[in-house]
Amino acid sequence: MKRIIVFVLSAFLFSYCTTVPLTGRRQLKFMPDSELLTMSFTQYSQFLSQHRLSTNQTQTAVVREVGVRIQQSVEKYMADNNMTDRIKDFRWEFNLVDDKQVNAFCMPGGKVVIYTGIMPICQDATGLAIVMGHEIAHAIAEHGNERMSQTMLANGLLTVGGAVVQAKNPSLTNQLLLQAAGVATNLGMLSFSRQHESEADHIGLIFSSMAGYDPREAPRFWQRMAAASGGGQQPPAFLSTHPSHEKRIQDLEAEIPAAMKYYESATRK
Ligand SMILES: [Zn+2]
């Protein structure tokens, strides 16, 4: 009997599994895309209505340009690898919000926000592409859905029918979404787990390189981030969930040779 239960349970969980593009990692996914994206789009418009867009036209234009170029690389990659389905309902948007916080995020479905506070650390379009690639990678790898699914599983918010929590408690589901996308926390872009952060670094670096942005800028950008967040002095809570700057920079250095191939073929044209 026990074995049957285990079998049914694993078959159930397996049916709610999916694979992360580029890394091939298996992940949990309970939230139906249609439901998640509808929620995400609503939350994004709400966010924009509550925040001021930057009036700096030059910076706004750079944000849009870098965003669209990375979007095109993602679309090309997905088309080349028979994964267009996974982004077919994306409604890409790239907005620069007037806010001193050092932050950026991409909500499920390609809804990007860059804060003006991160622009001086980006320095230029290439630095911005590193941030944008990283944030978009979280959305492509569906880290938001995975985190929500993990939270739901841990809190018994699921029924055998799947994620019905939305109908039962829409405000809780919306809260989960904002947290999962890194919107509703003080840590903002730094709120993802170590595993999700390294995965987003890896995937993001490839997408920004494909879009023609030099991957050698990635470690430099994270060095500037490290300096901006007080050098080596990171608070313990931050360290426990987030890769240390040093480790992240080392990992990115190691990924540069592979990313250079995409960068070179993008800039050769
Ligand atoms: Zn991240």
The pLDDT of residue 32: 86
Q: Which of 65, 75, 93, 135 is catalytic?
A: 135
In a domain, 184, yes or no: yes
In a domain, 223, yes or no: yes
The torsion defined by the Cα of 199, 164, 84 and 11, in degrees rounded to 10, comes to: 70
Q: Helix 217-228 vs helix 194-210: angle between axes, to the nearest 10 degrees? A: 140
Rounded Cα distance between 171 and 163, Å, is 14
DSSP 54: P
In a domain, 82, yes or no: yes
Q: Which of 168-172, 198-202, 239-243 is predicted least confidently? A: 239-243
In a domain, 107, yes or no: yes
Rounded Cα distance between 25 and 2, Å, is 28
The mean predicted confidence, pLDDT, of the chain is 84
For 43-86, the pLDDT digits (tens) are: 999 999 999 999 999 999 999 999 999 999 999 999 999 999 99
What is the residue range of 197's domain? 21-268
Compute, in angstroms, the gap from residue 161 CA to the centroid of ligand 1.
Answer: 31
Q: How many CB atoms lie within 10 A of CB 227?
A: 12
In a domain, 3, yes or no: no
For 35-45, the pLDDT digits (tens) are: 899 999 999 99
Compute, in angstroms, the gap from residue 156 CA to the centroid of ligand 1.
Answer: 27
In a domain, 27, yes or no: yes
In a domain, 229, yes or no: yes
The model's confidence at residue 206, banded by pLDDT at 50, 70 and 90, is very high
Residues 6+ apart with CB under 8 A from 121: 102, 127, 221, 224, 225, 228
The pLDDT of residue 187: 43
Q: Is 93 a catalytic residue?
A: no
Domain count of the chain? 1
Q: What percent of the chain has pLDDT over 90?
A: 56
Rounded Cα distance between 132 and 69, Å, is 10
The whole-model pTM stands at 0.86
In a domain, 122, yes or no: yes
Tell me whether strands 26-28 and 93-97 are parallel, antiparallel or unpaired.
Answer: unpaired
Element holding 194 (H helix, E strand): helix 194-210
Rounded Cα distance between 163 and 170, Å, is 12
